[in-house]
Amino acid sequence: MIFLNIIICEDNKEYIEKISKITKTVFEDRSLECNIKAFNIYEEAINYIKSLNSYEDCLYILDIDLKQEKNGLSLGREIRNIDEYKGEMIYVTSYVHQMQSVFKYKLKILDFIDKGYDIENSIKEALNVYIKIYKDKIENESLIFKVGGNVFIIKPSDIICIETDKSKKKIIIYTIKNEISVNLTLKEVQKDLSNQFVQIHRSIIVNKEHIKMIEDINGDLYVVLTGGMKEIVSKRREKEIRACVIQ
């Protein structure tokens, strides 16, 4: 399942509504789910972006003139410091003469749209390009699982851990967004995982990127994962897991 985060920052509420409506229509027409968050205040947009767990699925649609102390170019640069160029960025503005400034800031943008020239079609075209880029990227990098009539496309970076469900002879894949039960064994799925995953117990594999800390509890070692999940580490794997966290 493809689920995308669309973050809009625009000082004009009329344009916020217009851009949000166009975006929602494009994604619905393509049968894709998206979470649209719109802001007219710089700090609120940044705080929301900082709260996200991943950025590969983010698209930022920004205005340049936010009529605040900091403008949209400063916002773009701060976003790039946070997301490390993992998301895509579109500027929608009336100030087309500032296009060169976007490139001077080294923001790596997908498109620069003039509000005064057929904004609806321009946004639709940019969004369709974004969807194609994103689909190509995740289909090359992601794991695909079929569950009944549903197909789940999951980025490895979104997986927190994978655990054997002994009672149902399945595995449960815990992601930053949901959990999925699949008719596979841990061994079967392990062959498709990169070395960013480590087995901490015979029934649990975790994503090293989601290990927040380790804890000793009554003589047993646990990893604390994204979202506060705690999983026990087998005695024979303690040294390896401690090394992962130190790294």
Closest CA to 183 of 170, 192, 196, 198: 170
Q: Which two tokens stand for residue 98?
A: 């500032």
Q: Which of 9-13, 69-73, 208-212 has the lowest mean pLDDT?
A: 69-73
Average pLDDT over residues 180-203: 89
- At 11 the pLDDT is 87
Asked whether residue 247 carries a pLDDT value surpassing 60, the answer given is no
CA 139 from centroid of its chain's CA atoms: 15
Q: How many CA atoms lie within 13 A of 93 on its CB side?
A: 21
Domains and CATH numbers, the chain: 3-141 (3.40.50.2300), 155-246 (2.40.50.1020)
Closest CA to 136 of 12, 2, 38: 2
pLDDT per position as a tens digit, 35-80 = 999 998 889 999 999 998 788 889 999 998 878 788 889 999 999 9
**Percent of the chain residues topping a pLDDT of 70:** 96
CB 61 within 8 A of CB 115: no
pTM of the model: 0.61
